Structure 1
Amino acid sequence: MNSEDNLLAGIAGYVDTLSYVALFGLFTAHVTGNFVLIGAEAAGFGQGAFMKLMAFPAFVSGVAVSSVIVKRVEPATSNRAGCVLYIFQASLMLAFCLAGVGVSPVVHANGTPVIVCGMIGAAAMGVQNAHDRLVPRPGVPNTVMTGNVTQAVLDTVDILSQKMPSDARTVARTRLGKMLPTILAFATGAILGALAYQHVGFSALLLPCIALLCLALRTARGAQTQLDASATATDARKKPARPGRAADCHSERV
């Protein structure tokens, strides 16, 4: 699952940076950062405060609708639920891409089409934030790196400390090995997101769309494997028991 986390972290960094560059400092994945920007803009620094404020209910809507979808679908496997959410997020990401292309070049931060564009992006990343909580799986957070970086620093200190027990250092080393690739993937995605927007504009959002659809396809295959395994186990339980020693003993007594 670590490769899935790395790809999702790359998507989060990519989309968050692209939206920040394109939409006057709007965060879509790290939506709480918008509150900091709103506070700064209240003092006259920056622009687009209303768009950043509207990103919060859009983000919440993405989380809420994701929860409703998973409950309505009633998936037979966790992989099937994950597949549904990936498709839903890819659809919103495509809508974000089309809305961005439609408002380009973005000149006015408070224009209604621009605000709607930012809200769609925030909703898409709300789905990704909800994914890990709605579909439990082994992995690390992939949308906000603050906690991951904090844990990575703590684990590094533990690994270097000679006073730490060897088993504790082993646990820290294992956890650090999971955290670092995700952090690097997020940073790489952030750089690529800025460069992609610089060269192709909002059309660059087609890349995370494709990545999400690939994840959906891979997860769908995993769901089918789970269903096949479950069906095989059920068939095995339904097979009639073969005559055992009890029947043999009865024959001997006759």
Structure 2
Amino acid sequence: MNDDNLLSATAGYVDTLSFVSLFGLFTAHVTGNFVLIGAGVAGYGQGVFLKLMAFPAFILGVAVSSFIIRGRNPETPMRGACMLYAVQAFLLLVFCFAGINLGPRFSPESWAVVVCGMIGATAMGVQNAHSRLVARPGVPNTVMTGNVTQVILDVLDLCSPRVGADVKAAARARATKMLPAIVAFGLGAIAGAFGYRTFGFWALLLPVIGLAWLAMQAWMHRNAVGKLVS
């Protein structure tokens, strides 16, 4: 599994786990929280304040990522990627322990729940900012709406006799990259739900391990490139 697919699986996993555990909170993207806040204001659902506080937490994750990449100016993209993987892994680990400390019963109005959700949103803010700050080939890995739309358009182009060979080749190449990420996100979402049902917040250790592995791979690649340059 390449980096994009693992990150897609991570986004689906964490987003679903937070949704089923924290009263419908989306940590990996803000669109769903807008919808749920609107529903909550009208009297549907619960945890409006929790979802509102996810916004500044998400912004914090993006801002921290920007400071790391643009402020510290790492010498290679792989070094920047390594730093962001490590930061996200650390935040997800804190999210895991914050969730464990909630105990078996908790309410959406509890400050401990709000803080827990904010930590998760901060972690996923880092992942959302990653693809925009670190120059690397890949596809969006946190929200699948755009990917699914593009794959549908590419499939239609591939099936159309009016589309030229060069356009079909580009469509095939895009679909080949995007389809695995979409599948990985879906499988990650299923795994996140079952992981929480079986292990509770301890299930967050799985994406922590995955991100730590990505950080290690990026560090090794960075060192290998440094040796070649020297």
Q: In the alignment, which residue of structure 1 is the partner of 2:143? A: 144
What's the CA shift for 1:30? 1.5
Structure number with greater Rg is: 1
The letter for the 2-side match of 1:222 is H
Q: In the alignment, which residue of structure 2 is the partner of 1:221? A: 220
Give the match's secondary structure for 1:103.
Answer: coil
What's the CA shift for 1:70? 2.0
**Aligned equivalents of 1:83, 1:26: Cα separation in 2:** 28
What's the CA shift for 1:200? 0.5
The answer (yes or no) to whether the contact 1:58–1:120 under 8 Å persists in 2 is yes
Give the match's secondary structure for 1:99.
Answer: helix
User: What TM-score do you get using the length of structure 2 for normalisation?
Assistant: 0.98
**Aligned equivalents of 2:58, 2:124: Cα separation in 1:** 7
**Aligned equivalents of 2:127, 2:106: Cα separation in 1:** 29
Find out whether 1:110 has 2:113 as its counterpart. no
Q: In the alignment, which residue of structure 1 is the partner of 2:95? A: 96
Q: In the alignment, which residue of structure 1 is the partner of 2:36? A: 37
The letter for the 1-side match of 2:84 is L
Q: In the alignment, which residue of structure 1 is the partner of 2:50? A: 51
**Aligned equivalents of 2:58, 2:31: Cα separation in 1:** 10
Deviation beyond 4 Å, 4+ runs, structure 1:
none
Among all aligned residue pairs of Structure 1 and Structure 2, give the percentage whose two residues are the same amino acid.
Answer: 58
The letter for the 2-side match of 1:100 is G
**Aligned equivalents of 2:30, 2:106: Cα separation in 1:** 22
Q: In the alignment, which residue of structure 1 is the partner of 2:85? A: 86
- Which ranges in structure 2 are unaligned for 5 or more consecutive residues? none
User: What TM-score do you get using the length of structure 1 for normalisation?
Assistant: 0.89
Q: In the alignment, which residue of structure 2 is the partner of 1:70? A: 69
The answer (yes or no) to whether the contact 1:96–1:121 under 8 Å persists in 2 is yes
Find out whether 1:14 has 2:13 as its counterpart. yes
Matched ranges for 1:164-183 at <5 A: 164-183=163-182
**Aligned equivalents of 1:215, 1:73: Cα separation in 2:** 20
**Aligned equivalents of 2:193, 2:94: Cα separation in 1:** 19
What's the CA shift for 1:104? 2.7
